[in-house]
């Protein structure tokens, strides 16, 4: 657990914990950012049977000797309920996105109410593939975040710069814009239901993982941006995960960085052995 200096100064703080698919907000004596390992299955796998087997095998890698972390899988809507049944209370199963509208003429959309009705707590917003391929704008992503929070769910907001932006040393500026726009209107007291995933676009699905030093540097910048938007205490509470080609080989060094609180894993979360090793990171 990463202990935040602010908690030592300010006393108790709240932490978001999950019990199976039922998330809860609990008080902790010290502000501790519990590690959070999550998988993003994207448009995979291709059948319910495969999804069930994968979910079960991933759940079986969580043992009594695993790190005390939150673990979540973000899976295609059609697999959510069966994956929940397959993993018991070992991890939570979240949605890869939501529609900001609650009902009406939005063909193909899935609402927070629908997700809540089957026990879903977590949803992704702002993934770079949604931004790039599906044209989701910062305003739309902000509407998703607000709806998720208003409905009592929890959001993992993904942010990150493109390769061109990275090469121009714009990672911090891009993250600042995406954080400020994505979190607009979200109150400090609701941040215990927000996690940030810093995912440099150039590292997603490319096999090019950011070095622990680069990732730590941007994570520290993101935390400073959160302090600017809210305050230092809030910034010290929010979990910031790294995403981008995380593997069993890279996870330990990433998790040793002071401002990296977890991982959002795409490709390797489709391989239960690899993702199991990531869940059982060593820091
Ligand atoms: C992702 O899709 O969020 C991701 C990080 O993918 P990958 O691990 O495959 O780079």
Contact 93, 83 (CB under 8 A): yes
Which atom of ligand 1 is nearest the CA belonging to 203?
10
Q: Is 219 a catalytic residue?
A: no
Region 60-87: mean pLDDT is 97
Chain segment 215-247, per-residue pLDDT in tens = 999 999 999 999 999 999 999 999 999 999 999
The pTM (predicted TM-score) of the whole model is: 0.91
Residue 198 confidence (pLDDT) above 50: yes
Nearest residue (CA) to ligand 1, atom 3: 266
Q: Is the CB of 264 under 6 A from ligand 1?
A: yes
127, 129, 136, 219: the active-site residue: 127
Q: Is 165 a catalytic residue?
A: no
25 compared with 201, residue with greater pLDDT: 201
Ligand 1 center to 71 CA (angstroms): 16
Domain ranges of the chain: 2-279
Region 261-283: mean pLDDT is 97
For residues 25 and 81, what is the distance between their CA atoms, to the nearest angstrom?
23
Q: How confident is the model at residue 1 (pLDDT cuts 50, 70, 90)?
A: low
Lowest-confidence region among 10-19, 30-39, 132-141: 10-19
Ligand 1 center to 223 CA (angstroms): 21
Long-range residue pairs from 87-91, CB within 8 A, at least 24 positions apart, any chain: 87/20, 87/55, 87/56, 87/58, 87/59, 88/20, 88/59, 89/19, 89/20, 89/21, 90/20, 90/59, 90/62, 91/18, 91/20, 91/58, 91/59, 91/62
Ligand 1 center to 8 CA (angstroms): 34
Tell me, what's the pLDDT at 88?
Answer: 86
Q: Render 92-133 in DSSP notation, one character per residue.
A: EEEES---SSSSSS-TT---HHHHHHTT--EEEE--HHHHHT
Nearest residue (CA) to ligand 1, atom 6: 266
Share of the chain above pLDDT 90, in %: 86
For residues 78 and 76, what is the distance between their CA atoms, to the nearest angstrom?
6
Residue 27 confidence (pLDDT) above 60: no
Q: Is the CB of 124 under 6 A from ligand 1?
A: no
Ligand 1 center to 24 CA (angstroms): 27
Going from the C-alpha of 145 to that of each of 23, 124, 150, 189, the distances in angstroms are 17, 9, 8, 15
| Average pLDDT for the chain | 91
Q: Is the CB of 243 under 6 A from ligand 1?
A: yes
> Which CATH architecture does the domain made up of 2-279 adopt?
Alpha-Beta Barrel (3.20)
Chain-centroid distance, C-alpha 95: 11
């Amino acid at each position: 657990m990463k202990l935040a200096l602010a908690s030592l100064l300010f006393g108790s703080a709240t932490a978001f914990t999950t019990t199976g698919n039922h998330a809860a907000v609990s008080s902790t004596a010290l502000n501790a950012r519990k590690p959070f390992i999550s998988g993003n299955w994207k448009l995979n796998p291709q059948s319910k049977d495969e999804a069930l087997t994968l979910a079960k095998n991933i759940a079986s890698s969580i043992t009594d000797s695993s790190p005390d972390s939150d673990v979540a899988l973000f899976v295609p809507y059609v697999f959510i309920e069966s994956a929940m049944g397959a993993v018991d209370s070992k991890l939570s199963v979240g949605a890869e996105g939501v529609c900001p509208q609650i009902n009406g003429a939005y063909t193909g959309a899935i609402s927070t109410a629908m997700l809540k009705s089957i026990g879903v707590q977590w949803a992704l917003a702002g993934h770079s593939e949604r931004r790039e391929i599906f044209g989701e704008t910062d305003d739309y992503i902000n509407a998703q975040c607000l709806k998720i929070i208003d409905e009592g769910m929890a959001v993992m907001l993904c942010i990150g710069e493109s390769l061109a932006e990275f090469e121009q040393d714009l990672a911090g500026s891009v993250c600042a814009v995406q954080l400020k726009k994505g979190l607009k209107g979200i109150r400090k007291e609701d941040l215990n239901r927000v996690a940030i995933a810093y995912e440099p676009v150039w590292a997603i699905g490319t096999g090019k993982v950011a070095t622990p030093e680069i990732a730590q540097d941007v994570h520290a910048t993101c935390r400073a941006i959160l302090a600017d938007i809210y305050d230092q205490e809030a910034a010290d509470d929010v979990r910031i995960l790294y995403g981008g080609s995380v593997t069993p080989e890279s996870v330990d060094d990433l998790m040793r960085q002071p401002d990296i609180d977890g991982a959002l894993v795409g490709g390797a979360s489709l391989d239960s052995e690899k993702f199991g090793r990531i869940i059982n990171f060593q820091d």
